[in-house]
Amino acid sequence: MLKITDLHAAIDGKQILNGLTLEIPSGEVHAIMGPNGSGKSTLTRVLSGDPRYEVISGGVEFNGENLLEKSAEERARTGLFLSYQYPVSIPGVSNIQFLKAAVNAQRATQGQSPLDALQLLERARDGLKRVNLDDSFLQRAVNEGFSGGEKKRNELLQMLLLEPKLCLLDEADSGLDIDALKVVGDVVNGMRNKERSFLLITHYRRLLDHIPPDRVRH
């Protein structure tokens, strides 16, 4: 599914990735562990298409296509999802509006008909139960006034509805208590199948107690 070859990347003129090579087959869960500043988050930003990061050399293939030639929007529409370490707030845009736009944009790219309001609401409510958030979160602005744990759960809600092919979780366990950590594990394990892959970025092995990976890279 994902093939990274000798990847070099930088931000603000400072090179962070120095020849990374990594392959994640379909249906596998991989974890990368390492200290701050080692390039873990940089890798997720490069893969998601963050324009602040410059790819100096190397290649990235996603489902046989050159990922680096695609815009961030195109990468998301074709099934790549990034759960941010520090999710941003979007004042004035409710969660349900955001989810409707994102889900139906992705479905359009994949040749599927859009979900109507009732279908989306039904799926969103099911997702809310799985991440232990109440229905009021659908009407609240995206991440505005959310606690750190609520933001992380909201990212998981987006992932559940978008059903991406490749899920990048950048320190999804950061700042979470044991109950919230179990929610992360339950969601990821519930989404695992032979067509979907995960890349977990973490500092701590405790996340791996809830999500047994196929491979760990330090």
In this prediction the pTM is: 0.92
CB atoms within 10 A of CB 217: 13
pLDDT values of the chain reduced to their tens digit, one per residue, 218 residues: 999 999 999 999 999 999 999 999 999 999 998 877 789 999 999 999 999 999 999 999 999 999 999 999 999 998 999 999 889 999 999 999 999 999 999 999 989 999 999 999 999 999 999 999 999 999 999 999 999 899 999 999 999 999 999 999 998 888 788 888 899 999 999 999 999 999 999 887 888 888 888 877 76
| Neighbour-count burial of 177, counting CB atoms closer than 10 A to its CB (0-12 exposed, 13-18 middle, 19+ buried) | exposed
Q: Residue 215: what residue type?
A: R
In CATH, 2-217 is 3.30.1650.10: no
Quote the pLDDT of residue 218.
Answer: 64
CB atoms within 10 A of CB 203: 14
What's the DSSP call for residue 193?
A: B
The residues pairing with 137 across neighbouring beta strands, listed in sequence order, are none
Quote the pLDDT of residue 206.
Answer: 85
